[in-house]
Structure 1
Amino acid sequence: MVGQQKGMLPFYVSYNQPGAHYPMHYHDFAELSFVMEGTGSESINGVTHELRRGTMSLLLPHHIHELSSSSSDPIKLYSCMFDIHILFGNPYEDYMNRWIHKIGSELPSFHHFEGDRLNAVTTLIGQIVKEYKESHMGRDAILRGKLIEVVTLLLRAMLDGTESAAVQHNHPKMRVWNILRYIHLHYNEPITLNSVSSHFNLHASYISRMFKEYTGKTVGDYMHELRISRATTLLTASEMSISDICLEVGYDNYRTFARVFREHHGMSPSDYRMSHNRPVISP
């Protein structure tokens, strides 16, 4: 997680009230969210579910999601973002590795908690928030333990629940989401419409038409957005040189990077960094 202080648990908690629509995005880290009040909907990798009090969602790194909130009953939720590797490493937690990676495929990405289970996870979330705000000895150990506990309760509920995780992979919409996920995973590599076409064994013209229909953008434009979005994060939250950032986000030519960046932000990468009170680090 960019900006994480060395030696600290890669874990962050926030309380959010999203706007009417939070557009499609993804993270390099895992995100556990828990709705405290309000109603709305969330789409994860193209599968939409209801949001209401007690809904808990777990997004794995690079899962693509968007959220809509009711204007009359807006969503308020806690969001815990963390490096997924903190869930692993102990032999007594082998079950975690066995099940966690099935979320979004064999297991759903969410569960609606009710009754005693709702009370239990609400209490746990409260304990996590309280511990997160403190700086007592053993804080990180307790946070990791509470996180493992709440994720374990979520996995139990998913295994016992009735939410369907079945996905129609051949449906055009799911094809688009599979392509989107592939692009999100490989955007910093030299991929093109033709390479995407070859990977999915689909005609480039079909992918182009279908992608534009569902996203409103071309494959190339969407990839530029991902790269420039990542670049803005690195410019403001890292000490990387601008030339290294250019390569990191997938551009092998600085001139192209600078041109596309200016098209999106109306200024050069160095001016953008300076405008966010960061020193310009020489290439």
Structure 2
Amino acid sequence: MSRAYHEDKTHGTSVFPLQVYSHHDKDGFYFVSQHWHEELEWVYAEYGILNLTIHGKSFVLNPGEFCFINSGQLHEIKSIGESLHHAVVFNPGFLDFALYDACQHNFIRPITNGTLLFPTFCSAFSPADQKQILFHMQKIINLYHTLPTCALLSIKLHILHMIELFFQANYLLKNTLSSKGKDSLNKLKQVIEFIHINYAESISLQTLSEICFMSPNYFCHYFKQEIGKTPISFINEYRIEKACEMLSESKMPISDIALSVGFDNFSYFIRKFREYKGVAPNKYRSLRLNFEVN
């Protein structure tokens, strides 16, 4: 079965499993739907505003702010207006030492095995430590894109300096998710996978709740708690994103696109498109085509 919600893209290379993604969004249409991956992801907003939902909690990332996404956490990212943000994505195993020593046991292994988690938002840190963390993140981004001599070694050293700071100030959090909680979360990921595969078809709450072995009412409550929106809102938003892809990549009539992504009511599609994107579908297509030309 396809695992659409589980990002399995290779980040970096086999000998240096870290990649920095820098994205400039001109029109404020950037959106990555709920997904998860094994890699750690550190996001920094250089300018503009990002809305993030991580483990069901919503955050606004303002210019100069950063956040941490732990391995396996469901998350989505959306831009608000023009923005430039950077994501440092790396495999936790990247931190391991070949020789198992006291540093590995006390500081690295608790991070790579998920016993300790990074706090999500930069407000968890003192103002002085925020400046230090931001300094290291900016250095990592610059080193990755310019690749001076010893860049790879320098990147790893900056990450280790950040981890040292986290331990010194006791910022890392204990992972308190129970085995029952992990099981429920895994079932929720199966629900997202189901939506990603079957978005073009009719999807009932009964079908989704049965995947989680929950009643429809409890499922809706649990879904909103973990995802930050209702199942219906999530389905509509994902369908709109698929419509955006088709508007950008094809000349298909808008009414046909609406049907192909699961909307059987064209007026409802137009209303939802405006709600999520702030413009009508034809305007979106025009803006994206102009962006590609430029």
* TM-score when normalising by structure 1: 0.53
Q: Distance in 1 between matches of 2:17 and 2:69?
A: 16
Assess, with a 3 A threshold, how the Cα gap between structure 1 residues 128 and 184 changes in structure 2: closer, same or farther.
same
Structure 1 residue aligned with 2:231, among 205, 209, 215?
A: 215
Q: In the alignment, which residue of structure 2 is the partner of 1:85?
A: 93
Output the amino acid matched with 1:109.
Answer: T
Q: Structure 2 matches for 1:1-283, cutoff 5 A?
A: 2=9, 7-18=14-25, 19=28, 22-28=31-37, 29-71=39-81, 74-89=82-97, 91=101, 92-94=103-105, 95-99=107-111, 101=114, 108-112=119-123, 115-136=127-148, 138-154=150-166, 159=171, 179-181=187-189, 183=191, 201-203=213-215, 207=219, 214-216=230-232
Residues 88 and 141 in structure 2, CA contact (< 8 A), matched pair in contact too: no
Deviates further, 79-88 or 195-204: 195-204
Hey, what's the Cα distance between the residues in 2 that align with 1:122 and 1:195?
A: 44
Aligned residues: 212
Q: Deviations over 1:233-263 (max 9, x none)?
A: xxxxxxxxxxxxxxxxxxxxxxxxxxxxxx7
Distance 1:12 1:57 in 2: 17
TM-score when normalising by structure 2: 0.51
Query: Is contact 2:45–2:63 with CA below 8 Å preserved after alignment?
Result: yes
Distance apart, 1:86 and its partner CA: 0.8
Distance 2:189 2:66 in 1: 22
Identical residues among aligned pairs (%)? 14
Change (3 A) 1:58 1:20: same
Q: CA 1:25–1:158 in structure 2 vs 1: closer, same or farther (change >3 Å)?
A: farther
Paired amino acid for 1:215: P
Give the Cα–Cα distance (whole angstroms) in 1 for the partners of residues 55 and 122 of structure 2.
Answer: 16
| Contact 1:176/1:210, CA 8 A, preserved across alignment | no
Tell me which amino acid in the other structure corresponds to 1:36.
E
2:280 counterpart residue number = none
Please say if residues 13 and 79 of structure 1, whose CA atoms lie closer than 8 Å, have aligned partners that are also in contact: yes
**Counterpart AA for 1:82:** F
Distance 1:43 1:141, change over 3 A: same
- Identify unmatched segments of 5+ residues in structure 1: 168-174, 188-192, 223-227, 229-262, 265-283
**Distance apart, 1:185 and its partner CA:** 8.7
Q: Secondary structure at the match of 1:132?
A: helix
In 2, are the aligned partners of 1:30 and 1:60 still within 8 Å (CA)? yes
Which range is displaced more, 39-48 or 209-218? Answer: 209-218
Task: State the superposition RMSD in angstroms.
Answer: 4.9
Q: Tell whether the 8 Å contact from 1:39 to 1:75 is kept in structure 2 after alignment.
A: yes
When residues 64 and 49 of structure 1 are mapped into structure 2, their CA distance, relative to the original with a 3 A threshold, is same
CA distance in 1, matches of 2:80, 2:158: 30
The residue number in structure 2 matching 1:255 is none
The answer to whether the 8 Å contact 2:50/2:80 transfers is: yes
